[in-house]
Chain A
Amino acid sequence: MHPAYSVIFFTTASGAGYGMLVWLAILAATNAVSPSLASGVTIFVVALGLITSGLLSSTFHLGHPERAWRALSQWRSSWLSREGIAAIVTYIPALLFALGWIVFASVDGNWRIVGLITGLMALVTVACTGMIYASLKAIPRWTDATVVPIYLAFALSSGGALIITVLAILGPLTSQWAWLVALATALAWALKLLYWHRIDNAAPVATAESATGLGHLGTVRQLEAPHSGENYIMREMGFQIARKHAARLRMIALLFGGAIPILAFIVAGFVGGPALMIVALAGLAGTVVGVLLERWLFFAEAQHAAMLFYGAKAV
């Protein structure tokens, strides 16, 4: 699939924002932070800013952005519609949560419940994002059972990296939270390695023979394409990445998004002062590179069944 930058930015940015909200809810529920003005403003501005800019960027690739509101109407059947509704609904508890944290400096009582609802809605929204892809039978590898958990785990990994960085700079950061984020990051990449292993070894779901129904004659190959140039389908679905390039990019993604942040956040639990800020920023930088690469590969490596008509052997 063509890796469109607007979709990569949307899924990673909003994922990180929702991940932050989940961590915030957990921090509030466990009394792990005392709500301060500085940390509150910073964290909520970053989280809601990422979510909002992600949602806006997802409308950039629409043919008619002015009609985007219509996308909220088909929640009965469409995961994209469900995601849109979940994203908008999440703003309500999230803004209340921010109000309690920033204005009333409280995460107790009802504010805590509001926080938990925020975290839950953030998870629901990210799961809907994952389901948009996981529900597409035409891209068989995306229907893998790990896809939705991976979207959730990477939201927690990237959102966690942001929270740790903010707390390392502004507020008290206790060791176990840095280690928990390291754990979430390890979980995300373990799932990703599992996904890569599974897509590399999956049996083909459809072949050029089943697509054309000519398999009884023997191997099917395209002799002539319908036209000398490309078409929309070939540009949108026909993106291909060489296997050796993909393998190298996977390793780079794993190094930056996995190894560096895990190491950095483990170390962050032991150090303080300027050293803490440096390792936290290093962990965040690695996460950004790794998650963007991971998402790019998610699209670039995906093969669409329609390409079976255009020379692909199997998907």
Chain B
Amino acid sequence: MTSLPQQTSAQQPGLVIDLDICVGCHACAVNCKEWNTGGHSAPLTDEEPYGADPLGVWFNRIHTYEAGDGAEGQTVHFPRSCLHCEEPACVTVCPTGASYKREADGIVLVNADSCIGCKLCSWACPYGAREYDHSDGVMKKCTLCIERIENQNLPEIDRVPACVSTCPASARHFGDLGDPNSDISQLVQERGGYDLMPEMGMKPVNKYLPPRAQPASLAPSPTPTSTAATEPGGTGSPFLDWVDRTLSR
């Protein structure tokens, strides 16, 4: 049934991504691929992975943006995956009922057995979160690792999505965003977590935490301090100058 659940579920598991901490290492994307190629929507097919024009299904992709100019500018690493929206257009446009939002927890999933591969859901998603698997002929997307987060056989600490468990910088958080008192909701509150493209009206569940303002002491100083050493003849010794030039490259 592609009509949305009548009531918002009490539980709303989701991700919070801290853009201040993310170092852009892509580990979450790699572990996502690794886990999910054996998970709910397995496999995450690659086409010509070693060819000239490789193409593959990934649920998590890491962009890097520059925001602002000059000394005020920042480089921001930006992981993107399905936001498990409260009002996901990808679900309502689905003609077959293959796309659905789970009533109990609001996780947005695809039933690969009834998906006809019309791709309309990917057109409806403003976030580009859905990826078509050409070899399976069905649409695939982030499952929030349902087979991990619900797995009673795993130790509780491991019942988190693969991307969260692997992040070496703890830039990714998983928890119940439907409970205003949960740690993750508190974090969103404290740090001013926000929705991506709220104007699209999809009410994403996942939140992003903005980069913190840079302390003045970290801002790049306007004049380089090492010009003397790098200028020709700066040390008086040709050998040391050569070492300096070589190491400065």
Residues of A within 8 A of B (CB): 1, 61-65, 67-68, 70-74, 76-81, 84, 132, 135-139, 205-206, 208, 210-227, 229-233, 235-237, 304-310
Contact = CB atoms under 8 A, between A and B. Distances in A.
Interface stretch (B8-16, B192-200, B218-226): B192-200
A64 B119 contact: no
26 contacts: A62-B137, A63-B115, A63-B139, A68-B116, A70-B95, A70-B116, A71-B118, A80-B118, A80-B120, A84-B95, A137-B89, A138-B125, A212-B196, A213-B208, A214-B19, A214-B74, A217-B67, A217-B72, A225-B63, A227-B61, A229-B53, A232-B57, A236-B123, A237-B128, A305-B126, A307-B128
Given A78-B93, A306-B127, A222 B118 contact: no
B186 interface: no
Contacts of A304: 123, 126, 128
A266 B208 CA distance: 60
Contact of A81 (B95, B137, B138): B95
Contacts of B65: 208, 212, 214, 220-223
Chain B, interface SS category: loop
Residue with the greatest number of chain A CB neighbours at <10 A, chosen from B1, B120, B139: B120
Given A213-B196, A214-B76, A231 B89 contact: no
Nearest to A225: B63
A308 B78 CA distance: 13
A305 B197 CA distance: 9
Given A63-B132, A71-B95, A225-B63, A138 B119 contact: no
Given A80-B118, A231-B131, A137 B68 contact: no
Interface in B197-238: 197-202, 208, 210-211
B36 interface: no
Given A67-B116, A71-B96, A230-B55, A213 B194 contact: yes
B55 A62 contact: no
B116 A206 contact: no
B6 to A, nearest CB: 12
B126 A236 contact: no
A63 B123 contact: no
Given A64-B138, A210-B197, A231-B58, A70 B208 contact: no
Contacts of A229: 53-55
A23 to B, nearest CB: 29
Contacts of B76: 212, 214, 217
B92 interface: yes
Interface in B79-94: 80, 89, 91-94
A63 B117 contact: yes
Nearest to B92: A77
Given A213-B196, A306-B128, A231 B61 contact: yes
B210 A213 contact: yes
A307 B120 CA distance: 16
Interface in B18-38: 19, 24, 26, 29
Nearest to A216: B210
A235 B47 CA distance: 14
Contact of A1 (B64, B97, B116, B123): B123
A165 B102 CA distance: 53
